[in-house]
Amino acid sequence: MTWAIKYLPEAQDDLESFNKSTQITIKKAIKKVQQNPLPQSENGYGKPLGRKHGKNLTNFLKIKLLREGIRIVYKLVRTESQMLIVVIGIREDDEVYDIAEKRKKQNFNLYELSLLKK
């Protein structure tokens, strides 16, 4: 089953901040994971984040593009079969996780936000 991909507006801006070649690579990675974005514990591609260095990112997952040095953080909206992209950023320390936590707080209910973007 293929899951729908939705982006937070800020995540769309993140994507557009990369050069075209890198954008294509990011989109390919997301498209691959879109086929099975479930956590690895459910035989999917996503790596659960949980609590990371004092940040509560429980129910968020990540994709790493090692060669490009990029992390993608997303949240599954299972009732809508959606993969909500929260942040796309360079793998520098925990910056991506800091941004993900901030966006989580700003977008109080990611589920409702994802439904609005249909």
Q: What is the pLDDT of residues 68-81, one digit of tens each?
A: 999 999 999 888 88
Q: Report how far residue 76's alpha carbon sits from residue 85's, in angstroms, rounded to the nearest whole number.
A: 9
Kindly report whether the global pTM for this prediction surpasses the value 0.85.
yes
What are the structural domains, with CATH classification, of the chain?
4-116 (3.30.2310.20)
Q: What is the pLDDT of residues 4-22, one digit of tens each?
A: 999 999 999 999 999 999 9
Q: What element of type H or E holds 59?
A: strand 55-65
Report residue 26's pLDDT band, with 50, 70 and 90 as the boundaries. Answer: very high
| Sign, Cα dihedral of 64, 14, 55, 34 | negative
